[in-house]
Amino acid sequence: MTRLTRRTFAQLTASAVALAVSPRIVRAEDDWRIGFRTAPETFDAELTRLEGRLPSELSGSFYRIGPAQFERGGERLGHWFDGDGMIQRFAIADGRVTHRGRFVDTPKRRAEKAAGRFLYTGYGFAPKNLTGIRAPDDLNAANTNVLPIAGEVWALWEGGSPYRIDAETLATLGRKAFDGGLNGVAFSAHPKTEPSGDTWNFGVIGKRCVLWHLAPDGTTRKAKLIELPEASLMHDFAITARHIVLLAPPLLRREGPASTLVDSYAWQPGKPLTALVLDKNTLEIVRRHELPARFLYHIGNAWEDADGAIRLDACLDADATFAVKTARDLALGLAQAPLSARPSLITLPPSGAGVIATLQGVGEFPRIDPRRVGERHRITHGVTEGGVATWDWERGVSETYLHPPGTWSEEPVFVPRKGAMGERDGWLIQTALDMRAGRTQLCIFDARRTTDGPIARLTCPYALPLGFHGTFVAA
């Protein structure tokens, strides 16, 4: 594989300077609010083919999850990240796709249904009359990501336990119980599963961080509580063959009372984006790097060069406006803003400060070939404004496809072709909300030719709530 040269980094950095983001123009018929409506208790339907044909080799289950409860008792939810989670399954087989959607049956959801109103504070929303909590899982909305493990699917949240879901029926099987006094300990929504089948994760509670290492069957190999230099609002992390990388943006814990999690933090642009590198064997911090102030939600992948330099790609924003304002406006149906995060490659040398090089364009929800987690990669796929993007880190270029006007595109997931070794030899699966038709589409791309557009496009008979993350499990 070609080395990442100085010329490549120069091209990446120069493209950032040339970037100009245009405001999104919203037509009256492009009603994005349909993606923020409370869903019915269940969805069940077969999708209709609009164009193209499904690849005969593509067979399995595509799972997605996201918030789907936005009103209760006449009150509107005040932040996108706080809605009760609904898990979706698109079953693909024999040229057909069927869809099923079910809410995750958490204690939080049961209590609020019984009360007929919102009860608990959350990431960015506090109802009019708060109810006290006994443990973090009282707030668990199980709405952020899905993890296939040991024949089940786990619904994940930011700061509590996974919820076990039946992989076919989507029935909630209960909270995942960990041994060794780990029940209810934060297990974040972005675990990393290595090609070996082992899974790594982290969970942050203020300045304390739990590091997790799970076996392929979901049992705990080890877990350790460490102290962080500062309390930062972290959402994602990365692993290499030998290390764990935590990226702590300068959205830091502030003094004084706050009714929600995000309000207890403040953006401090004078402080750096801090990278903490930990040894996977000892789970101790071994390196610390400082980068220019940036905010991030999502990381694509990381790897380590022979000289010890760590490289990772992430979607970086100038500040935390999305977390503290935009995600509230979306949930309340007030306004939307253009995508502003930029796909960027971060280099962490063996010592000293880190370097950020940025591709041209905007993007979010980065995903890679799952067979390369923690290993060197060249290609990352993600969302761009109204479409899908493929970012080539060696060539320093972005390939994009834009859906027809009036489309809200969601996270694409790469599915390798059976037996293929190439990093792009497979398909991208992406859901997209057709705001004009009021229906959610399922789009299949040949990942080798992203710019050609979908090779198959199917539609649900309804609009699904706009969600966050997904995964594919082959049949």
Q: Can you give the pLDDT at residue 12?
A: 41
- pLDDT tens figures, 272-285: 999 999 999 999 99
Domain positions in the chain are 6-54+92-101+169-474
Hey, how many other C-beta atoms are within 10 angstroms of the C-beta on 435? 21
Q: Can you give the pLDDT at residue 5?
A: 43
- pLDDT tens figures, 75-108: 999 999 999 999 999 999 999 999 999 999 999 9
Q: Can you give the pLDDT at residue 335?
A: 85
Spans of the chain, pLDDT less than 70: 1-29
Q: Can you give the pLDDT at residue 344?
A: 98
Q: Can you give the pLDDT at residue 2?
A: 35
What is the pTM (predicted TM-score) of this model?
A: 0.92
Pick 6-54+92-101+169-474's CATH classification: 1.10.287, 2.120.10, 1.20.1440, 1.10.10: 2.120.10
